[in-house]
Amino acid sequence: MTIKYVFLVSRQGKLRLSKWYATTALGSKEIAKTIKDVSQLVLQRKPKQCNFIEHRDTKVVYRKYASLYFVVGVDLDDNELIIMEFIHRYVECLDRYFGNVCELDLIFHFQKAYFILDEMVMAGELQESSKKTVLRVIAQQDETEAMENAERGWGDIK
């Protein structure tokens, strides 16, 4: 299973988070065009329609939570249900970390959303599916960051 990209887009079409794993053949213009095209496809779909779309040589799996669409592009032969479960697991981790996560949490603390995603996916491959493990590592990272900030005299910077 190879994840090509993960991005979050709001109902208004604003990109909130973007992580690309298979960028060797794509330039920045192609990435921007793909985000625009896939976002438009996802945003115009009705709620009762299937959450899987084929776009070029990629299978797009998406899921809507509140005002955000979580979009994942994978190979055509990958299992959609595993990707749906991955999206749900990522949202659960965000929800536990932020405590009822909302779009503003992802805007103001985007680096934490990236850290959580990086703990779950490495080089396009799902590495960790345990919420407890992911959240434990992020908590350790927060402790280390707080200690380093205290050593520098920066206080509690979040």
CB 6 within 8 A of CB 87: no
Cβ partners under 8 Å of residue 114, min gap 6: 17, 19
Asked if residue 154 has pLDDT above 80, the reply is no
Amino acid at 72: V
| 26 has pLDDT over 80 | no
Q: Report pLDDT for 152.
A: 85
Per-chain mean pLDDT for the chain: 91
- Could you tell me what percent of the chain has a pLDDT over 70? 95
- Residue 44 sits at φ, ψ, to 5 deg, of -85, -5
Q: Give the amino acid at 27.
A: G
Residue 78 has pLDDT above 80, yes or no: yes
Residue 156 has a pLDDT of 64
The reported pLDDT for the residue numbered 1 is 67
Q: What is the DSSP letter of 54?
A: E
> Average pLDDT in the 50-73 region?
94
DSSP state of 93: H
